[in-house]
């Protein structure tokens, strides 16, 4: 995928967001970091204090246990989803401020799906491409090569 000059590139996962701008050309991209954000998000087991609740069922006029476990909230995933929504909001604000004309978004499949739920029309209209990969831990030169090779 080509990265035209002045295209913005968002590389995100559920905890880290890197916002780049291509200051090079489409054939020789030079991604420069414009913004980055990280969110502390400990593992789910470190965020919970109790086990999942149980529901009671009515059997023969008496309440009895065994109605099943209530779904356990995954606080870690909820925080990642909120972070993706916040990233989409940042894209909206930047698009409405005419900060970019063209955008490429790179994120793991789940995060990409969550971002898509929150894209503003202006962001969607300026979207030049998406790549479903987790590249937040890669150095900038590898990110550039992997996007260009996609």
| DSSP states of 57-68 | EEETTEEEEEEE
Query: What pLDDT shows up at residue 72?
Result: 66
Name the β-bridge partners of 1: none
DSSP letter, residue 98: T
> Whole-angstrom Cα distance, residue 135 to residue 13?
8
Joined together, the tokens standing for residue 103 give: 């955008």
In three-state secondary structure terms, 69 is strand
Q: Are 105 and 131 in contact (CB under 8 A)?
A: yes
Query: What pLDDT shows up at residue 13?
Result: 92
pTM: 0.78
DSSP letter, residue 129: E
CA distances from 78 to 82, 99, 116 (A): 6, 29, 16
Scanning the structure block, which residue is given the tokens 């590249």?
Answer: 135
Task: Rounding to the nearest 10 degrees, give the CA dihedral for residues 34, 21, 85, 143.
Answer: -100
Report how far Cα 23 is from the mean position of its chain's Cα atoms. 24
Low-confidence residues in the chain, pLDDT < 70 = 40-72, 76
Query: What pLDDT shows up at residue 57?
Result: 55
Query: What pLDDT shows up at residue 63?
Result: 53
In this structure, how many other beta carbons lie within 10 angstroms of the beta carbon of residue 97? Answer: 8
Query: What pLDDT shows up at residue 54?
Result: 53
Query: What pLDDT shows up at residue 80?
Result: 86
């Amino acid at each position: 995928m080509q990265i035209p000059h002045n295209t913005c590139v968002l590389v995100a996962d559920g905890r880290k967001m890197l916002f780049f701008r291509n200051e090079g050309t489409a054939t020789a991209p030079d991604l420069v970091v414009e913004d980055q954000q990280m969110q502390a998000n400990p593992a789910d087991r470190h965020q919970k204090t109790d086990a999942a609740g149980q529901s009671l069922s009515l059997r023969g006029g008496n309440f009895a246990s065994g109605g099943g476990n209530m779904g356990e909230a995954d606080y870690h995933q909820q925080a990642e989803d909120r972070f993706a929504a916040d990233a989409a909001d940042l894209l909206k604000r930047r698009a409405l401020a005419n900060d970019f004309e063209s955008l490429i978004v790179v994120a793991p499949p789940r995060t990409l799906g969550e971002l898509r739920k929150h894209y503003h029309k202006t962001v969607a209209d300026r979207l030049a491409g998406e790549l479903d990969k987790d590249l937040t831990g890669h150095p900038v030169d590898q990110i550039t090569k992997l996007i260009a090779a996609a």
